[in-house]
Amino acid sequence: MPTISERVFESIKRQPGISDAAMAKDLGLRHQQVNSEARHLENRGLIERRPDSATDGSIGNWPVSGEPPTTD
């Protein structure tokens, strides 16, 4: 079974620019869980988080690496 981190990363790869709220809804997770995992992935250099000017300015998540996160 994939970890939450792996699920979040795969969601970002499938939908570049996805917000934490949309991802939480898609994955059936709490917004807080997604936000925490996305920040962790950003700190590891796997994704980039930036405001999405095409929407309401909410933070979008963008893949930087195609490599899946490893469990730490």
In tens, the pLDDT along 42-64 reads 999 999 999 877 667 789 999 99
CATH number at residue 41: 1.10.10.10
Give the pLDDT score at 57. Answer: 75
* Residue 47, in any domain of the structure: yes
* Residue 72, in any domain of the structure: no
Structurally, the chain folds into a number of domains equal to 1
The structure's pTM equals 0.84
Q: Cα(27)–Cα(19) distance, rounded to whole angstroms?
A: 12
* Residue 68, in any domain of the structure: no
Q: Which domain holds residue 12?
A: 4-63
Identify the helix (H) or strand (E) that includes residue 7.
helix 4-14
